[in-house]
Structure 1
């Protein structure tokens, strides 16, 4: 049975939150909503200014685990990419995270694949897998692009992060999702949007500001779920809804609404 997780990146300063909740407030909201797992980001974690082991113990004491940690970036600055991988690997080791989320800002050619594989190896040494996220506004825009990197790094060290937002708003089809082997999937993120965006839209801004809870938009989430379950996927399902207006409701209402939404669309 899949583990249901609440990804809290929407509350991160990196996502634009001016006054993020404290870690205890966030943990209480996620636990009380009925989740057993929380997704954290390394930017917020480092911003707490406390030892990683201490923060990880606080997560465990709240009755939660942290299976996903955002993140690292693979781009033209090789040294920065490797440093970012080491930073997120340290956080994964401390929290016992299964996955480190990575974004790739280079075309998935041989040079990019080699650099991603080096990052994935660093992360694997910390006991986690590098989850490469395909995004329609980056050079790694499709499932096929992400699979190219995973094929080079190996499924022991890496996998494809399948985010409903990027699947429905990108160029992928049900056929490309069906063709993705379950062994190549790292984990799944679920969310929704008020509309399917036309070519030329500002995908980045829409992605970072107008997501809605599952079932409140136009995504065919039942078909999405069934396509993944049919291939035997039973791993992590993380709710990731980045929307400043919804974040402004507060951590507890946000978490409760997210939990009810994912229960309707994945349970």
Structure 2
């Protein structure tokens, strides 16, 4: 049975929030809403300015695990990419995270694949897998692009992060999702959007500000869930809804609404 996680990146300053809520407050809200897992981002975690072990203990004290940690970026600055991988690897080790989420801003050529593999190796040494996210507004826009990097880094060290938002708003099809082997999947994120966006839309802004709770938009999440189940996927499912209006409700109401949405659309 899948682990249901609430990804709290929407509360990160990196996502536009003023500041991350205190970790005990955020963790309590997630737990009390009925989740057993919380997704964190390394930018907020480091922003607390306290030892990682201390922060990890607060998450555990709330009765939660932290299976996903965002993130690292692979781009033309090789030194920065490797530094970011080491940074997120340290956080993964402290929190016991299974996955480090990575964004890749280079075309999936040999140079990119080698650098991603080096980052994945650093993360693997911390006991986690590098989860490469395909995003339709980046050079790694499709499942096939992400699979190219995973094939080079190996499934022991890496996997594809399958986010419903990027699947439904990007060029992939049900056929390309069906072709993705279950052992190449790192984990899954779910969310929704008010509309399927036309060609030329500002996908980045829409992605980072107008997501809605699962079931409140137009995504065929039931079919998405069933397509993953048909291939035998039963791993981590993380709710990631980036929307400043929902964040403004506060951590408690955000978490409660997210849990209700999961019950309606996924559990």
SS class of match (1:66):
strand
2:142 is the alignment partner of 1:138: no
Q: Please, what TM-score do these two structures have when normalized by structure 1? A: 0.99
State the partner residue of 2:38. Answer: 38
Q: Which whole-Å CA distance do the structure 2 matches of 1:107 and 1:259 have between them?
A: 36
Matched residues in 2 for 1:17 and 1:85: separation? 24
**1:120 maps onto 2:126 in alignment:** no
Query: What are the within-5 Å matches in structure 2 for residues 1-267 of structure 1?
Result: 1-267=1-267
Unaligned runs of at least 5 residues, structure 1: none
Return the alpha-carbon distance in structure 2 between the equivalents of residues 248 and 123 of structure 1. 34
Equivalent pairs counted in the alignment come to 267
Cα distance in 2, alignment partners of residues 71 and 136 from structure 1: 18
RMSD: 0.5
SS at match of 1:235: coil
Deviation above 3 Å: which 4+ runs of structure 1? none
Cα deviation, residue 37, structure 1: 0.1
TM-score (norm 2): 0.99
Deviation at 1:19, TM superposition (A): 3.7
Secondary structure of the corresponding residue to residue 102 of structure 1: strand
